Each structure stands twice: as C-alpha cells, then as structure tokens.
Amino acid sequence: MSKILVKAPAKVNALLRVLSGRSDGYHELEMVMVPLTLCDEIALTATTGGVAISIDGQADAGMSGEKNLACRAARAFIEAAGVDAGVNIELAKRVPIAAGLGGGSSDAAAVLRGLNTLFGTGLTADRLAGIGKALGADVPFFCHGRPAFVEGIGDRVSVYTSFPKSSYLLVNPGFPVSTPWVYKQWDLQLTMKRPDARVRPLFQVFSDVIAFLHNDLEQVTIPAHPEIEVIKGALLKAGAAGALMSGSGPTVFGVFEDQEARDEAHARLSHEGWKIYRAEAMLDPEFV
C-alpha cells in the first residue's frame, strides 16, 4: 500500500466543564465530545523520506514547519513507530478553522490513524492517543473517534459504547476565536472552581443529549461576541431541541432528533449570512 485516504471529523462539545487551572497552563476539564460527519479529507502517500503537505491544492514550504499540526503528527508517528519512510500529506479542508470544532486536532489524529494503516504498524488507538497527547489536548479523542467522556486535559478518554442518534446544524458567524485567549479570560474573570469529582453522564435516549447540554466557556466568549447568543436563539426558534456553543467558540450547534427537522431549520436560516453546515453524529466511524 502506497496511498490511503482518511477522514478527519469535526466535533462538538455536548458538555464542557472547566474544573481548575494547572501550573503548566492547561486546564482540568470534563467534556462530552461527539464526532460529526462533517470531515476534512486527507490523502497520505508514502515517500522515501521527509514530510510535505499541500492544503486545498496549494503547496507551501512554510506549511510543513512545526506550526502545522498534521506535519508534526506525521513526524511524531514516524519516530514513535520506527518507520524508515516519509509521507506526502494532501489536505482538503471542509471544517472551519479556529471555530471550536477541533479541525486541526482532528487532522493530526487522522494522520496518526492513516499512517498506522499505511505502514501496517498495528498500533492500538490508545497508543496513537499517547502519541497525540503531546500534539494537542483534543488529539487523543480523535484517535478513538467515537462519542466519549473526556477528562483531564483531554488525555483521559472513555468511549461510549452507545450514543443516541442525533442531527446537527452548525452555524459559524465567520470570525475566529482564540482558544488560549478564552481560557486566559476564564482564569482572570472566574475564580470559583468546581470540585474534581463529578458524575459521568449517561446517554441512552435523545432527551439525555439535550438535558446535559452545557458549556462553561460561554460565560467568556458570549460577552465578547454577543452574536453567538443571537445564533443560539435563532436555532431554537428554527426548531432545534437545544443549542450550544462548541468548545471555545464561535461555532454554535443546534441539536435535532432527525434530519428532516434539521433540514427545515437549515432552510429557515440559510438567508442570515452565516456559514451553516449540516452533519450527523458519527456513531460508527469509517475513518480510512
């Protein structure tokens, strides 16, 4: 095998609690993360050596540096697995960046999973997540790629064996939000910390998804970007059973029990000028 195609799904945070800050700058979190059928697409081609990348057909030598998470993932995998080869990465972006949807982290995890298959190294999802932990907090989750309860800084992933079917309408207002800025503001503005011990939520039916919807970071991002609250209201008015900002924002997602209700809401909101994406919860992923 010399080439493989891999999907890198977006995610939403159906639950995000910030428990406390850490001395290393990270935060102790509890999250319920759900991968979606909205995906970047990545082609990986084995080469004789080195790592190169093109994004949406545009090659740029600067893109293969340390700032590119997909390239860093490739180098980390090659070193960890002891592979004597290189890779060319062709990335087709579909997930908006700096949007609270985990696009860069998902691309990195997709590279790890794809190279594992391409080179036949047989590493487990837990081993890939261990490599990914050094790349970014969301990377371990994407190495598993199923709805999961995620703890710590994102490194403790407990996959749900079952999760209710649900449809999503993602609304992005078109501006980026810096995740480091959001957490810095959290530290500056909110001093009350939650206790470390929490109950892991169970998701057996669709109403459970709605009941647990919560994101602590809305308290920071919405005051700085009130349009996020406007989008939440528009989604609920259009028929969403629940609406929430994903991650540090600014993307807001509406949750629907079926595709028909979701598509009706899409039609009602399509004239607003926002970037809108339709997706389903990815319950049985076919990454590669």
Instruction: Kindly list the catalytic residues.
Output: 11, 138
Q: Using CA atoms, how far apart are residues 178 and 285, in angstroms rounded to an integer?
A: 29
Q: Using CA atoms, how far apart are residues 200 and 58, in angstroms rounded to an integer?
A: 43
E strand segments, 185-241: 214-215
φ, ψ dihedrals at 199, nearest 5°: -95, 130
Task: Residue 72: name the closest of 44, 100, 33, 107 by CA.
Answer: 107
Q: Using CA atoms, how far apart are residues 158 and 66, in angstroms rounded to an integer?
A: 30
Chain centroid, CA 162 distance in Å: 19
Please say whether the dihedral angle defined by the alpha carbons of residues 240, 257, 274 and 137, taken in this order, is positive or negative.
positive
Task: Residue 256: name the closest of 120, 141, 164 by CA.
Answer: 164
CB 149 within 8 A of CB 161: no
Q: Using CA atoms, how far apart are residues 257 and 184, in angstroms rounded to an integer?
A: 35
Cis bond before residue 250 (omega within 30° of 0): yes
Q: How many CB atoms lie within 10 A of CB 238?
A: 21
Q: Letter for the amino acid at 229?
A: E
**Side-chain half-sphere of 193: how many Cα atoms within 13 Å?**
12
